[in-house]
Amino acid sequence: MKLLVVESPAKAKTINKYLGSDYEVIASFGHIRDLPAKDGSVEPEQDFAMKWEIEGRGAKQVAEIVKALKGADKLILATDPDREGEAISWHVLEALNAKRALKGIPVERVTFNAVTKDAVEKALANPRQVDQALVDAYLARRALDYLVGFTLSPVLWRKLPGARSAGRVQSVALRIVCDREREIEAFRAREYWSLVATLATSAGGVFDARLVGADGKKITRLDIGTGDEARAFKAALETAAFSVANVEAKPVKRHPYPPFQTSTLQQEASRKLGLAPARTMQLAQRLYEGVDIGGETVGLITYMRTDGVDMDGSAITAARRVIGKEFGDAYVPGVPRKYTVKAKNAQEAHEAIRPTDLGRLPAMVARHLEPEQARLYELIWKRTIASQMESASLERTTVDIAAKVGARNLELRATGQVVLFDGFLTLYQESRDDEEDEDSKKLPAMKNGEPLEKRAIAADQHFTEPPPRYSEASLVKRMEELGIGRPSTYAATLSTLRDREYVRIDKKRLVPEDKGMLVTAFLESFFKRYVEFDFTANLEEQLDRVSNAEIDWKVLLREFWEEFTKSIGETKDLRVTEVLEALNGVLGAHVFPAREDGGDPRSCQVCGTGTLSLKLGKFGAFVGCSNYPECRYTRPLTVSAADGEATTEGGQGAPGVRILGKDPVTEVDVTLRDGRFGPYIQLGEGEKPKRSSLPKGMSAASVTLEKALALLALPREVAKHPESGEPILVGIGRYGPYVQHGKTYANIDKDDDILELGGNRAIDLIVAKESGGGGSRFGRGAAVPGRDLGEHPGGGKLVVRAGKYGPYVNWGKVNATLPKAMTQEAITLEQAVELVNTKAEASGVKGGGKPKAAAKAKTPAKAAAKSSAKPKAAAKAKAPAKAAAKPKAAAKA
């Protein structure tokens, strides 16, 4: 019998169906070992020795592998075909050697890019050994991330209260977001005008032409900067004689995009499907590992963590066959297309992400998939097929028009585009091109010298706009362009920034929180080298060289560590005043915006003589007056210049009450206040004024009068129940935002905006709760609708839900709370299985809810020890473990 080890139970289940009784397939559930979350797990003084630890679920899986090996004549390591997969195989091998479990059993390493029977059988026929160079690259990356996290994060905790952690890639990604925010804050709108003439040909064709030149000088978009200039040009055009000066038509080819790689899949799924990168990768993992299609479990796509963009020859042939059948021979190019990776630091070669069987059309599999899975599969299928289709043929026409006004010569231009043959565009068009393409409009037929009739002249005022904030998709694209991190880690990096509360998502855009701005400013001031784009990208290139066996991984670590420890040492004697001075300089425009009256933005508007400055308190940074304690004025970091003149509730020097404006109905002040449980909105004064707390995720700095009035209007009706016809309300309660129908309450997902929640979404939440939630929202044991993660290896469904004390995984009678670093959207089946297994073992309850037998649960010695232990002593014994676990987020950042 041959023992084959993979990462996940879903993958094991699929492969087990392909192989005969000669094979036993077992899952490692990912990594079986990890670095303990405490100092000393990586020892630079001992030549970067790394202390790995098997605990909890890992120990159980190793025991199962050891047990299965007793009847095996070969061990086959079949983990994923990337560095992380190579590392998992290496960890399994190291753990088995430590237990002396192999006893001469031969070991083979196989990889396959798709979980299909043919791919698995082909891999088994071509085994190899574990690639030590790939393992070394993993060890170097893991050691770097650990050393940065465990060395830099404590500096942040000491010097910058409220900061959570810093990470090698995480901090650079945060800097990109914060740099954009500072660009937006420094932006000053600029006025400009456009002149457009509506003209007609002698045959009656009407079109628009834009002013592009005057008296031999070119006019660009921003050149006409005042209304007076625009009116002068408009007056001249009103009396001008127009004629065609030149007509130029050029044929243009548009070629298809390459198939998806990890980063482009995340970007397009975000733009087209509205999926977060973490959710995209979770869905892709399910499609890769195998789905039941008509009684057969099959992997639907190839491996989804890849930098490759080319496809296997047989896949290209299959794509061309599908194109000819579905679209016709005209859409099949004469020569198959080949794509190459442009990035200089691309990972080890793999195929692009594509369907395993291109003849499996989206409509054929949709009924077997969850809606999101079906949409993602369709996106991958379309992109793959389009990549092998014929190019689109277009004709781009440019018409130059002369306008004569006495001795003056004005020039106008009209452009148009016509699709002659749609080619791949008939199937697929990338989202960004929908926004960037010129208007696909056809101009009427014209010839040189033809006179034109003026129909209208329009002079329109415009203002330049600041650069947009990054979306998750555009941030992934920017990180890839800069060579920062790896595509397979982007989703985790973005999740970490949100979990640390360094950024929030507002209308699908990443907005840095004050905490994130402070951390970035601190790192730029005192660890500038380690948040520079070039330095981080160069480190990635060095890691690639390690994976190619070009340099030794410990040499790389020595060079990094020598410089890094010097930078850390320079901050030991850093005084708080130096930190504040540096932060005031970097964040000046952010914290102290220019005042509308032109006054000093840092002068205190309460006492009149003090100077405002950043202060560091127990719970983070705030702005205070230099005349403290005589003047006790304080405010959050980010309020507008006008708001900085805060009115006071408790007399001069009391913390500010920010006036947002007046309620148009009652004409009383709407204010933002700091309360015992956080900021809240209040309408007017009096004994019992109307109030509303801020929903989670909404910062005080982002609250406007419009948002405040909308919050005060809650609860509001958003829909009628489809059966009862009674109103469905949305509001904010003791446990956060909710929707309500009668006595039925349903939680609103954290990604839903309570102020923009629509009727359809509210009905979905209520119907889901009524059909499966059970009980009142506030009732004991009330269940809330959750997301189905899949089957537990031991039977029964795993569901992740939002609970009163945070998200949790449910398996029968076992409920396991998610760790702070793990989100409800990103948790995988494997992580869920690990959580509920650990909880079940600790509580003595099985998934079905049956208590374990006491005799089986403990040995007599353990039972005696437990009975003799005092409860207080036991409680105290747990405290150090919690303290040690606290830096874990920093280590993994």
- pTM beyond cutoff 0.95: no
Q: Each residue of 845-879: pLDDT tens digit? A: 666 443 333 333 333 333 443 444 444 333 333 34
729 φ, ψ (degrees, to nearest 5):
-105, 155
CATH code of domain 262-390: 1.10.290.10
Q: Where in the chain is the domain with CATH 2.70.20.10?
A: 191-255+393-463
Tokens of 499: 């979990």
Q: Each residue of 233-248: pLDDT tens digit? A: 999 999 999 999 999 9
More confident residue, 832 or 641: 832
From residue 546, give the alpha-carbon distance in Å to each of 99, 151, 552. 29, 24, 6
- Which residues, 6 or more positions from 841, have their beta carbon under 8 angstroms from its beta carbon? none
Neighbouring C-beta atoms of residue 883, cutoff 10 Å:
10
From residue 638, give the alpha-carbon distance in Å to each of 103, 437, 608. 65, 38, 20
Alpha-carbon span 563 to 441, nearest angstrom = 58
How confident is the model over 658-685, as a mean pLDDT?
81
CATH code of domain 191-255+393-463: 2.70.20.10
Tokens of 576: 């708080």
Beta bridge partners of 216: none
Alpha-carbon span 485 to 277, nearest angstrom = 15
Alpha-carbon span 651 to 629, nearest angstrom = 14
DSSP string, 409-460: EEEEEEEEEEEEE-GGGGT---HHHHHHSPP--PPPP--TT-EEEEEEEEEE
User: Where residue 40 falls among pLDDT bands split at 50, 70, 90?
Assistant: confident
Asked whether the beta carbons of 791 and 753 are under 8 A apart, the reply is no
- pLDDT of residue 328 exceeding 60, the answer is yes
- pLDDT of residue 647 exceeding 50, the answer is no
Alpha-carbon span 452 to 749, nearest angstrom = 58
Tokens of 891: 């280590």
Catalytic residues, by residue number, are: 303
The CATH class of 139-187+468-576 is mainly alpha
How confident is the model over 633-640, as a mean pLDDT?
68
pLDDT value, residue 651: 31
Angle, CA 592 vertex, CA 513 and CA 699 arms, to 5°: 25
Q: Where in the chain is the domain with CATH 1.10.460.10?
A: 139-187+468-576
pLDDT value, residue 415: 93
Q: Each residue of 362-421: pLDDT tens digit? A: 999 999 999 999 999 999 999 999 999 999 999 999 999 999 988 889 999 999 988 999
- pLDDT of residue 18 exceeding 70, the answer is yes
Q: Where in the chain is the domain with CATH 3.40.50.140?
A: 2-130
- pLDDT of residue 433 exceeding 70, the answer is no
Burial (CB < 10 A; 0-12, 13-18, 19+), residue 161, is middle
pLDDT value, residue 503: 92
Closest CA to 236 of 401, 450, 449, 404: 404
The runs of H, that is alpha helices, within 548-676 are 553-569, 576-586, 588-591
More confident residue, 183 or 819: 183
Tokens of 671: 């204010």
Q: Where in the chain is the domain with CATH 1.10.290.10?
A: 262-390
User: Where residue 623 falls among pLDDT bands split at 50, 70, 90?
Assistant: confident
Alpha-carbon span 379 to 428, nearest angstrom = 9
- pLDDT of residue 146 exceeding 80, the answer is yes
pLDDT value, residue 199: 96
Least confident of 48-62, 308-322, 367-381, 663-677: 663-677
Closest CA to 76 of 104, 117, 101, 105: 105
Q: Each residue of 515-573: pLDDT tens digit? A: 889 899 989 988 888 889 888 888 988 988 998 899 999 999 999 999 999 888 888 77
User: Where residue 602 falls among pLDDT bands split at 50, 70, 90?
Assistant: confident
From residue 657, give the alpha-carbon distance in Å to each of 595, 636, 640, 649. 18, 11, 13, 6
From residue 803, give the alpha-carbon distance in Å to each of 110, 228, 499, 613. 42, 61, 17, 40
Alpha-carbon span 553 to 81, nearest angstrom = 21
Query: Between β-strands 241-254 and 217-218, what pairing exists: parallel, antiparallel or unpaired?
Result: unpaired
How confident is the model over 817-839, as a mean pLDDT?
80
* Percent of the chain whose pLDDT exceeds 90: 38
Is CATH 3.40.50.300 the right assignment for the domain spanning 2-130? Answer: no
pLDDT value, residue 812: 83
- Which residues, 6 or more positions from 569, have their beta carbon under 8 angstroms from its beta carbon? none
Asked whether the beta carbons of 683 and 690 are under 8 A apart, the reply is yes
